[in-house]
Amino acid sequence: MRYLLGLDVSTTGSKALLIDETGAVVASHTTPHDSSQPHPLWSEQSPAGWWSGMAASIRAVLAKVGDPGAIQAIGLTGQMHGLVCLDASGNVLRPAILWNDQRTQAECDEITATIGARRLIELTGNRALTGFTAPKILWVRAHEPEVYARIAHILLPKDYIRFKLTGEYATDRAGASGTLLLNVARRDWSREVVDALDIPAEWLPPTHEGPQVTGEVSAAAAQETGLRAGIPVVGGGGDQSAQATGVGAVRPGIVALTVGTSGVVFAPLASYAYEPEGRLHAFCHAVPGQWHFMGVMLSAAGSLQWYRDTLRPGEDFGPLTGEAADIPPGAEGLIFLPYLTGERTPHPDPLARGAFVGLTSRHTRPHLTRAVLEGVAFGLRDSFELIKNSDAGRIDEVRISGGGARSAVWRQIFADVFGVPLVVVKALEGAAYGAALLAGVGGGVWPDVPTAAEQTVELGERVEPGEHAGAYEAAYRLYRDLYPLLKPVFERQAEL
């Protein structure tokens, strides 16, 4: 039996997932790591913590198989957009600045003014947003010139793990799409953007397709992890592209809906396209020769977790969401805006805030619960509508995964609000599973990514829109009206 190892450096932990050549999960282990917020809106982590955690997780899964030599290949995934600055010797120069760091609005404005909003979207598929990597580079240049002067290499979080495994500086094209420095249509660095921002091109690593071999496990890494030296390590993909691979969203028409802490609607594209206003992300897919549109909500299941932790700490999510089943669609006029950590799609606004609108003395806690579930569904429908009306408008099937997919009540709400059937993906291992599939293609277990997904991804329940599907239209229209009305209020609140 041949094994494949998927490694995922997420915001919360370093995960190692081992699968066999049938796609069955053999072992999984996650070592948690912490984030720091040294100032308001900042979010940083130690790359050394990622690596020590990943080495521990690898050793934990190897202990369950007995034969490390049977591992055929390794795939990488992880949080996107983070900035890792290294000197010429590969030493980390400062803590990594993460995807959810919000300090760079001035740099985003500078990028837009320098390149032009329309040209930036044409080249990179995206607006300049605070989460992306390029604004972070400019921030270091402006605020930490002594660090900037020593930079020789810039990597994304998962690519730092690659460097520690192989000694190679490399990245994948799906992850690189989230730097705001990639010409997404051409699938390589944009000389125009890099030169306009005066970022040394030699700092950027070579780019690779998701299943392409980028290096081999070094003797030093083998000693630290227990792996066999010489195992090939493939390009992998950013977390959302790897997640989509792991649920089989690897051809146009299959849309992935992920309801995790954040929420994502992911639609593969056969050719490059961009949303003219940049309201959708346009990235390279981890599947060679494919691209994708993506809409992102920052607080999806995160909204439900905040709600539970605040009002019913310790209660299981099942009973909590179950109590909403007896509340009619629309929660009797109560609307929840899920902008607890700002928003990205279709409102790229770090100042957006959460709100319950329409509260009366008639509303009970189950009403509030229903409103939270519906508000998240409405927010993700915003992305769904943009994709339906775009060049990716063909939607054959929507596959739902993530922690939020465990709730039967929530699954039905999503089907009713979207007005389309949903298919539940049985696998719950997320992006690490997709990274392992990409490793299998690079290691010769499968000939291509679609074949790997077809032979391994297990589908479960199909949820059809129910009798209440049409009842959501008026509530959704009201939801869409609220953000433009409240935006000036959010801006004033941010000044308090």
Q: What sections of 293-364 are H helices per DSSP?
A: 301-311, 317-322
Tokens of 98: 């993460």
The distance of Cα 454 from the centroid of its chain, to the nearest Å, equals 22
- The C-alpha atoms of residue 179 and residue 407 are separated, in whole angstroms, by 34
Of the candidates 457, 14, 495, the one whose C-alpha atom is nearest the C-alpha of residue 247 is 457
- Does residue 239 carry a catalytic annotation? yes
Of 239, 382, 391, 416, which is the active-site residue?
Answer: 239
Sequence-distant (≥ 6) Cβ neighbours of residue 438 within 8 angstroms: 75, 210, 211, 234, 235, 236, 237, 242, 245, 286, 449, 452
| DSSP letter, residue 230 | T
| 3-state SS record for 62-94 | HCCCCCHHHEEEEEEEECCCCEEEECCCCCECC
The whole-angstrom separation of Cα 20 and Cα 5 is: 9
233-259 per-residue burial string, b: 16 or more CB within 10 A, e: under 16: bbbbbbbbbbbbbbbbbbbbebbbbbb
Hey, what are 367's tokens? 């009403």
Q: Which H/E stretch holds residue 420? A: none
* Residues in CB range of 66: below 8 A, 6 or more apart: none
- Alpha carbon 362 to its chain centroid, in Å, reads 38
Per-residue tokens: 183: 């010409």
Tokens of 402: 């993530």
What's the residue count for the chain? Answer: 496
Question: CA 101 to CA 79: how far, in whole Å?
Answer: 12
Rounded to whole angstroms, the Cα distance separating 374 from 435 reads 32
Give catalytic residue positions.
239
